[in-house]
Structure 1
Amino acid sequence: MKFKADRATLIKSLAHVQNVVEKRNTIPILANVLLAVRDGKLSIAATDLEISLVEEVTAQTTRNGAITVPAATLYEIVRRQPDNAEIELDHPGGDAQLALRAGRYATSLVALSVDEFPKLDAGKLSHHFVLSAQELRGLIDRTKFAISTEETRYYLNGIFLHAAEGDTGPVLRTVATDGHRLARVEEPLPQGAAGMPGVIIPRKTVTELRKLLDEASGEVEVALSETRIQFTIGNMRLTSKLIDGTFPDYDRVIPRGNDKVLRIDKKDFNDAVGRVSAISSEKHRPVKLSLAKDLLVISAASAEQGSASEELGPELVDYQSGPLEIGFQARYLSDVTEQIKGKVEFIFADGAAPTLVRDQDDASAVYVLMPMRV
């Protein structure tokens, strides 16, 4: 295998694939990236056995072949080269080391045979559909904050992607919950997604996919089966195993009879919550919302630091129901309201029941917050 590539192209691809590499592993080959030249094309790949990423890279190829080398080491060497450097990698085959040259710089890296590298075959993927990068970003960004980190309930450690029947017709939904909050977001069902199995995409896959979407502007091809999902973004292909579990019946958690509605600008509300909650350094610090007609008082107290409150009046608050007091964890409030673009609607039943949160101008997302005692 032999090829030349400019530093900018190579470092960008290596940055993508090295994120997939498991930093702490007991299998040496999993710390390596696979470099392969076939028919004039260079591909760079990495896997941790759960996720794999393959990217085709523009390069001047001289000789076909494939080899694996330590991902972190190769990335650091390439990163430290001058911006305009042209980098040549040459592996003659067999047990030889990989030679790397850039200008007057030269080094060699211990290589492992591709025979030891896991096969990256996704198997048969039964459903195929296309989403815009913007749509997929929206589905992820507005739900990922609610993914659980509690390993015992492993089936909540990801985003549930499935086809459903929405208020206006078939939709593609993402749902995440950690038991304290729930996020449900939907887009019109794309062609090819009807009848797809409901799948749980693991948290690490969601994180890596979201990084790749930062650089995407076109369409994303999605293919999936009951055990795997694959995202093709330009010249990159991310494949992942799915969480083998049953996502809970989230519809039962979404309240239907709440009738007390608070409307307030997202920024005004978030700023006030931030100022009031600053009184406490507790990780799970609660804030209390006290409501009366067109009046909201946000308050918090800490045994060590004292107390704080802020009053928001009729120029900011629209609330026409009776008095209500309810408490929430400050961070959970902020996480949910950060997803709202303009005015946020809180729809309450009472001080102990789940609260519905919506964007007044966007019906595609629904959030649920569980209250806490204050």
Structure 2
Amino acid sequence: MKFRILREDLLLPLQQVIGVIERRQTLPILSNVLIEVEAGRMELAGTDLEVQLVANTDMEGKESGRFTVPARKLMDICRLLPEGGELAFDVKPERVSLQCGKSRFILGALPAENYPNFEHGDPEAVFDCEAQLLRRAIEKTAFAMAQQDVRYYLNGLLLEIRQGRIRAVASDGHRLALFEDAVDGMPDVARQIIIPRKGVLELGRLLARVEGSASVRISANNVRILFGTFSFAVKLVEGRYPDYERVIPKTACRVVVVDRHELRGALTRVAVLSNEKFKGVSLEIGEGLIRLRAQNPEHEEAEDEVPADVSGEAFAVGFNASYLLDAINAVASDAVRMSFTDANGSCLIEDLSDSRYRFIVMPMRL
């Protein structure tokens, strides 16, 4: 099979699928990209058996065929070739040669029929939503996912659809981040899926460069999301997500409204002298201010104060400074509202400019 394609027409879809292809694989063919050419259309696919990315691009010619070549070597070649160059491919069973101007390369090829087939299954729920809505959902929650937790279902993101709304939830057992928004045309079904951590991070990377609408197709074992000329698919985590709604405070006897930038600055400064392992910081909340204190095993101490609008009785509570900072950094408004049930209860952090985001941080003993 012989065909030609412009460098830019090949490089863009290749860059889209390369993120899922690991440099070192247990199966050599997983280091390759699957390329299928048919009737003026090229499709590139990459997978690590858990996540699959597929991108399409137009090309001239009537040739058809399938082959695989080392993905990163092909991308490096395309990236280093001059702009506007035309690549001429000559595909043979065990090798692929490509030429651009006076540059010529020969790459090893593996049979396309040996490339793993990613089973999508019949969709149980299908809906369209703005790609940027999905991006914001991931952006506001992914930081709270667990990493290598024995509770495997926490090493991912819960995506829930019900009553015309989409909800994203992430938690590592010490904190929880929640995003919720309405979606027009949502199917009248209630469904919960858990997307694994790697899939969440890869999807967030892709969505950063996508505008317009996305089509979400949820099957029994995977979810597939289509964006224009490429698609993303990931196998779901089996298991049931914990009842996260139980940890969301329903009432608050103490409410604090504080400037987000001032609180973030004070937390960052005080945390310097906190315990390096636990990052514990004490918040003494009284009338008109928050006093922050930290100390470490070397008996070093730090203290700072931030003015705040406080309603309720004075109290003190301890938190992991890193968890508080992650939640505060995800807030977009200039001020942040912190609601407490009691001195031993969790803290609900809310964005005053957007009610779609909520963050819960569990306290710690200091």
Map of 1:112 onto structure 2: 110
Cα offset, 1:171, TM superposition:
1.9
Map of 2:316 onto structure 1: 325
Cα offset, 1:89, TM superposition:
2.2
RMSD: 1.7
The answer to whether the Cα contact below 8 Å between 2:40 and 2:58 also exists between their aligned partners in 1 is no
The answer to whether the Cα contact below 8 Å between 1:162 and 1:173 also exists between their aligned partners in 2 is yes
Alignment of 1:271-350 (within 5 A): 271-280=265-274, 282-304=276-298, 306-313=300-307, 317-342=308-333, 343-350=335-342
The answer to whether the aligner puts 1:358 opposite 2:358 as a matched pair is: no
The answer to whether the Cα contact below 8 Å between 1:2 and 1:62 also exists between their aligned partners in 2 is no
Of the three residues 125, 128, 147, the one matched with 1:127 is: 125
Cα offset, 1:341, TM superposition:
1.2
The answer to whether the Cα contact below 8 Å between 2:275 and 2:297 also exists between their aligned partners in 1 is no
Separation in 2 of the partners of 1:201 and 1:193?
Answer: 20
The answer to whether the aligner puts 1:13 opposite 2:4 as a matched pair is: no
Alignment of 1:130-141 (within 5 A): 130-141=128-139
Separation in 2 of the partners of 1:81 and 1:109?
Answer: 16
Cα offset, 1:62, TM superposition:
4.9
Pick closer, same or farther for the CA change 1:199–1:321 going to 2, 3 Å: same
* AA partner of residue 290 (structure 2): L
TM-score (norm 2): 0.95
Map of 1:43 onto structure 2: 43
Q: Deviation string for 1:165-187 (max 9, x for gaps)?
A: 5xxxx421111110000111111
The answer to whether the Cα contact below 8 Å between 1:199 and 1:226 also exists between their aligned partners in 2 is no
Separation in 1 of the partners of 2:57 and 2:194?
Answer: 30
Map of 1:369 onto structure 2: 361
Cα offset, 1:82, TM superposition:
2.4
Pick closer, same or farther for the CA change 1:193–1:271 going to 2, 3 Å: farther
Query: Secondary structure of the equivalent of 2:110?
Result: coil
* AA partner of residue 140 (structure 2): R
Separation in 1 of the partners of 2:50 and 2:148?
Answer: 19
Pick closer, same or farther for the CA change 1:109–1:89 going to 2, 3 Å: same
Separation in 2 of the partners of 1:12 and 1:272?
Answer: 44
TM-score (norm 1): 0.93
Cα offset, 1:298, TM superposition:
1.5
Pick closer, same or farther for the CA change 1:227–1:190 going to 2, 3 Å: farther
Identity %: 35
Query: Secondary structure of the equivalent of 1:66?
Result: strand
Map of 1:84 onto structure 2: 84
Map of 1:249 onto structure 2: 243
The answer to whether the aligner puts 1:175 opposite 2:166 as a matched pair is: no
Separation in 2 of the partners of 1:37 and 1:297?
Answer: 65
Alignment of 1:58-73 (within 5 A): 58-73=58-73
Pick closer, same or farther for the CA change 1:368–1:70 going to 2, 3 Å: same
Separation in 2 of the partners of 1:171 and 1:151?
Answer: 29
Alignment of 1:141-180 (within 5 A): 141-164=139-162, 170-180=164-174
Q: Deviation string for 1:248-273 (max 9, x for gaps)?
A: 01111112232200101222211111
The answer to whether the Cα contact below 8 Å between 2:123 and 2:217 also exists between their aligned partners in 1 is yes
The answer to whether the Cα contact below 8 Å between 1:36 and 1:42 also exists between their aligned partners in 2 is yes
* AA partner of residue 103 (structure 2): Y
Separation in 2 of the partners of 1:344 and 1:312?
Answer: 13
Segments of structure 1 that go 5 or more residues without pairing to the other structure are none
* AA partner of residue 21 (structure 1): I
Of the three residues 218, 222, 231, the one matched with 1:228 is: 222
The answer to whether the Cα contact below 8 Å between 1:163 and 1:189 also exists between their aligned partners in 2 is no
Separation in 1 of the partners of 2:46 and 2:115?
Answer: 9
Stretch of structure 1 that moved more, 8-17 or 285-294: 8-17
The answer to whether the Cα contact below 8 Å between 2:267 and 2:321 also exists between their aligned partners in 1 is yes
Separation in 1 of the partners of 2:99 and 2:362?
Answer: 58
The answer to whether the Cα contact below 8 Å between 2:215 and 2:226 also exists between their aligned partners in 1 is yes
The answer to whether the Cα contact below 8 Å between 1:223 and 1:230 also exists between their aligned partners in 2 is yes
Separation in 2 of the partners of 1:370 and 1:257?
Answer: 16
Pick closer, same or farther for the CA change 1:214–1:61 going to 2, 3 Å: farther
* AA partner of residue 345 (structure 2): A
* AA partner of residue 137 (structure 1): R
Pick closer, same or farther for the CA change 1:283–1:15 going to 2, 3 Å: farther
Cα offset, 1:281, TM superposition:
7.2
Cα offset, 1:305, TM superposition:
7.5
* AA partner of residue 47 (structure 1): T
Cα offset, 1:283, TM superposition:
4.4
